Every structure is written in structure tokens, then in C-alpha cells.
A and B are shown apart, each in its own frame.
Chain A
Amino acid sequence: MSASVVAQIALIGLAKSGVIAMLAVGIVLIYRTTGVVNLAHWAIGLVGVVVYVLLTGVDVVPPLPAAAVGLAVSALAGLLAQRLVFSRIHRGQVVTMILVALGVGSFFAAVSQMLLRGQRGEIIVTPFLPGSTVDIAGAVILASELITILVAVAACAVLLPWLKRSRSGRALRAVAQNREAAQLAGIDAARYAELAWVIGSGLAGLALLLLIPHSAGEQGGVLSVVHLVPLGSLLIPAFGAALVGGLISLPAALAGSLIFGLVQELLILAPPPISDQREVLAFVVITVLLLLRTERFFASNAELEALRS
């Protein structure tokens, strides 16, 4: 098989990695600052896509501004979830916290369905990125996939230095590492927790906006029943990627995203039993990650204790 086919599949895999990475970064940010394992992550991103679909459906708003509005709606949904619901739960109540996350996810999924007036089946979505193909040294991929890769890289290139160097970014990390010490330094922990939700949820909206409106290539995108559920299909790989960093480390989560997206696509080239069972392989990897309790590689016991109290 030719090198360009491998390159092509690798690039498609990278685009998938990009979507997974944007989801995984949000999961890690939200978990670290507020202790919430956000099973509502997909549904919160979905609300933004649905708003985009509604806006472009009536031809009032051009696609790109509509996408921006969609992203803002996802961020707002995350902010409301934190302010109205999650801030009221004590971190120690782990099972309640997960159940509530499921409930919030179901709520946003139901709201999404309501906004679409309960339409079943598939809805054709206008794309906001060009549907043309790009030839990169013989590897032909969709322009939207290339842009997805670039956006994901750009998002990380902005977010990581911001967390590292800016006053707000450092305050956010401080809240994540030691909430009480941060408060005692005069940092408004509740405000920064909300900021983490806004950033994470905005990224979830961005990820799904890059994915769903362009899922059918040149025709644009298809929003199907599979997308309109509380726990979307890419949420599991995103959790897998986040687990590579124990839900703690952002760089490790990014590496995990790269592996999950890229390897899953590249295994298409493997011989049949493996190429057919790529999803199952991913589940095996996640199970191993769970059993390894990866968090202990990235944080001391004291820090983990603080995350849970």
C-alpha cells in the first residue's frame, strides 16, 4: 500500500484526535477544578450544535456567526450547570455527583430534542467550513478535517501558555491544585470553577461543531439520533484520553487523545480480526487504564485527597 494512503489515514486520524483532545481537555479542566466527572460533557456540547442547526436552518444567520453563537451557548450551558447544580454538591458524594452529571446530560439532550421539535431520523446540517478537499503531498483529505486539526492545535497553543503564565490562568491552576490555599490567597474559587466550566464547555461545543456539521463531507453534515443522546460516541475515547493523564494532567491527556484518534484510524490498515475490532481494543485499553489507577502517576496522595474533599 502506498505511503500516501497511510498519510491520508493518519491525517484523518489526527482530525479525530483533535476532536477527542478538545473534549478531553474540558473533562480534565472541569474535573480538576470542581471534582466533577462530567458525563454531561457531550450533551452540553450538543446544545451548541442544535442552536447552530436552528440558526442556519432558517437562513437568517450566516453559518460562521451561527457557529460562534452555538459555541457561546455551550459555554453558557456549562456555566449554568455549575452555578445552579454542581456547586451545590459536596465533592465527597461521588455517586451523587455522577448521577447528577447523568441527569444534567439527559436534561440537555432532552432540551436539544425539544428544540428540534422531536424530529426523528436524520437532519441535514449546513457546514460552515469549506467542503472541498486538500491535497497534502498526495494525501487527500477534506478541508474541514485539516481545519479541525489546526483549530485543535491552536486551542492548545492558546490555552496551555495562558494556564502557565497569565494571572487568571495561574489562579485557575491554583484552585485545581489546592482549593483552600487558593481561597486563602484571596482567589475567588467559585468564580474560577465557573471559568473552568465555561472554557471546558466551550471547547466541547467547538469540538462537536467541527465534527457534526461536516460529518458527511461535501454535502455538509448529518445530525442523527446517535448524536442526540446524553453520552455521545466520542465521549468514551475522550474519557480514555483523559484517563491517560489520570484526569489530572493536561499534557498526558493530549498525548492520550493523539493515540486514541490516530491509532484507531491507522488500525484500519491492520489485518482483519484487528481492523474489525478497533472499538473493542479501545475498550480494553480504557479498562487497563482504569485498573492502573493512572491518577497516582500525576498527583500525590495529598493532592488526590484534596480533590475529593
Chain B
Amino acid sequence: MSTKVITLTPTTQHARRGTALAVALAAAAVGPLLLSDFASFIGARIAVTAIIGLSVIVVTGYTGQLSLMPYTFAGIGVFVAAHTITGWGWPFWFAAAFAAALSVPLSLLVGLVAVRLRGFYFAIATLTFASAVGATLFEWDAFTGGQKGLPVSRPVIGPIDFAGDRAYYLLCLVTVLLLVWMVMGLQDSRIGRAMTAVRENETAAATLGINVMKTKLVAFMVSGMIAAIGGVFHGMLLQHVTRTPYQTPFVEAVGVTLVILVVVGGMRSPWGPFIGAAIIYVQLEVFRTALFLQYFIAAVTAVAFVVVLLRLPDGLVGLIKHEAAAVRRAPLRGGVRVALIIAVNVVVLYGIWRLSR
């Protein structure tokens, strides 16, 4: 799809982006606080999913390699959090750093095998390793607490107690924004540009003097670290964790769902996982009472996923940028168009919600 790019001077573009970002942030920060604890919990869940989703951005969005391991690394973070924060009384940020460090040996081991492989062989290798870790490390009761699982406590920093959902939501929001900012920086760095080159054409990248294997390995390791950090926050979110969701990519199919929501949101933008997670979790909560509808949403999301892959390479982020550009070009027409799109969506959602009662 071709999108017309409006060229603005860098400063105005930055300023606009800054303003938009500030408004969005203020809304995100204040919104749940005006609402219930429950809404804050959903907000925190979206933020945590977005953190784990960022790991997909780095390895799949930037580097073009499909990894089905994010929840394996997240699982490491989850259980590290259980042991270090609750068991040993470590501060959460130290636990996050430790989990990220612990993910390295595993991502290095898997990475050294996987980077030699291309395309679907890479994907199948990660699928195999995810299953293997699930059948070994996560079967180790001392690490995962067996069937019963382990408790995870939320942090207290000085006078602030993050045990409540509202406070914890803010902590997750700050963390995810920090990581989004870092992942954006990664894209503009030397290694980030090497990643893009590898995604576009491995052979051509090699002729440019880029070390393809090293680039893939770095991407895979960074992705593992981000997912492990996400896991620490996931553990603190749930407050009690069991091994099953992290054990195999099949049982809960979380690895698959994660990839789907990242792609729908937009695989090449660090904001993609945020938007994808928001849309899916808000819908799931709205239709929480009707299990049937949740699977209906899953089916519709799968269709949306395929349509995005075939028609919208940049997902909803790309769509939003496109519409925003349209509004800037012709504020009245574009505005009406956007309002119509939003209205149609709201009406459809409301209709389904009413039917589900």
C-alpha cells in the first residue's frame, strides 16, 4: 500500500509528535485513575503485554525472523521474580536486570542454532526450543513451584506502595514507555539499521559487509532480555504464577496470540504491541461474560491478522498514521472520515455487546 508522506520540517514534526504523545500519555495515565481498580488492572495487563510484545518487534518486526519463544523468556522472568522479589527481598528493578541477564545463556544457546537457519526453519527451531524448555526447566519444581505455583509480591519503593492496581498500573506504564523509547533508539542505531537490512534481504545485507548471523543473534538476545523483563512485570501483575502458560507454545497458545496482536498493532513500530494489546484486552473484558464471544473475537482477530499481513504491512499503527496524514491534508474531510470509522466501530462493538447480554 502506498501512503503519501507529508514532509514537515524536522522540528515541527518532532513538536507535533511530542504534543500527540504527551496528550496520549496524560490520557493513559489519568484514565484508569478516574476509573476503577479493575480498569487499572486491565491497563497494567495491556502495558505488560506490550513489554513482552516489544521483544517480537525487535526480532520479527526489525530483523524479520519469526520467534515463537517470547513466553519462554517471559516465563524465566516470572519465576525469577517469584524467587528474588518475594523469596529474597530484592528490589524489583534489580530482579528485572537479573532476569534479563539470566535469559542470555538460553538465548545464546538457542540463538547459535537458530541464526544459522532461515525463514521457517528459524521459526520451527524456536518452536522446538520453546517446547524443550517447557519440558525441562519449567518442569523443575524447585524453580516453578510445581502444580501449585509461586506467589509474587509487588514492590514498595520508599513511601510508595505499588500493591494496589492503580499504582502498579502507573509503574508498568512508565516501564513500557521507557522500553519503547529504548527500542526506538535501537532502530536508529547502527545495529538497528543492520537489522532492517537483514530483514529486507539477507544476501544483499551480507554484501554490504553486515554480519548477518551476528545481527540475528543480537536481535534474538535483545528480544529475550526484553521478554524476561516483561516476565518480571507479568509475575508482579498476576501476584501468583504457575508454569503452564509458559511451558509450551501450544497449550494456551500465548506465543501465537502475542505474535498476532503485535502484527495487528503494527510489527514495525514500538507502539504496535501497545495498540494491539489494548484492542484485544479491552474487547476481551467487554465480552468477559460470554465465553462464546471471546472465541468469536479470537476468530475475528485471526482474520484481521491475515488481512493485515496481506494488505497493511504496518498494521494499525500504519493505518493511524495514514488517517492522521489525511486529517492534516484536509482537516474537514479527513476528520469526518476518521469520525465515521470510529463511529462504525463503536456501533458494531456496542451491538455485539448488547447481543451478548
Residue ranges of A at the interface with B (Cβ–Cβ < 8 Å): 37, 39, 85, 88-89, 94-100, 102-107, 109-111, 113-114, 117-118, 120, 225-226, 229-233, 235-236, 239, 243, 277, 279-280, 283-284, 286-287, 290-291, 293
CB-nearest residue of chain B relative to A42? B250
Residues in B with CB closer than 8 Å to A293 are 117, 121
Determine if B132 is an interface residue (Cβ-Cβ < 8 Å): yes
- Residues of B128-144 at the interface with A, using a CB-CB cut-off of 8 Å, are 128-129, 131-132, 135-136
Which of B113, B116, B131, B252 sits near A236, CB closer than 8 Å? B131
* A232 with B250, Cβ < 8 A, contacts A102-B260, A118-B291, A287-B113 known: yes
B295 near A118 with CB under 8 A, answer: yes
Residues in A with CB closer than 8 Å to B223 are none
Determine if B306 is an interface residue (Cβ-Cβ < 8 Å): yes
Known: A95-B64, A107-B302, A109-B253. 10 other contacts (CB 8 A): A95-B119, A103-B303, A103-B305, A110-B299, A118-B290, A225-B251, A229-B253, A239-B124, A279-B131, A286-B124
- Counting chain A CB atoms within 10 Å of each CB, the highest count among B60, B136, B252, B256 belongs to B256
* A291 with B305, Cβ < 8 A, contacts A113-B295, A225-B251 known: no
How near does chain B come to A291, taking the closest CB pair, in angstroms? 6
How near does chain B come to A264, taking the closest CB pair, in angstroms? 13
A291 near B127 with CB under 8 A, answer: no
Can you offer 12 A-B residue contacts whose CB atoms are under 8 A? A37-B120, A85-B310, A94-B118, A96-B310, A100-B309, A103-B260, A106-B302, A106-B305, A111-B299, A229-B252, A230-B250, A283-B135
How near does chain B come to A276, taking the closest CB pair, in angstroms? 9
How near does chain B come to A263, taking the closest CB pair, in angstroms? 17
Which of B117, B120, B251, B298 sits near A106, CB closer than 8 Å? B298
* A230 with B295, Cβ < 8 A, contacts A98-B120, A291-B113 known: no
* A231 with B253, Cβ < 8 A, contacts A89-B310, A236-B128 known: yes
A230 near B253 with CB under 8 A, answer: yes
Residues in A with CB closer than 8 Å to B251 are 225-226, 229
Which of B118, B129, B256, B263 sits near A230, CB closer than 8 Å? B256
CB-nearest residue of chain B relative to A36? B120
Residues in B with CB closer than 8 Å to A98 are 66, 119-120, 123
* A231 with B249, Cβ < 8 A, contacts A95-B66, A283-B135 known: yes
Which of A89, A113, A279 sits near B298, CB closer than 8 Å? A113
Residues in B with CB closer than 8 Å to A117 are 291-292
A102 near B310 with CB under 8 A, answer: no
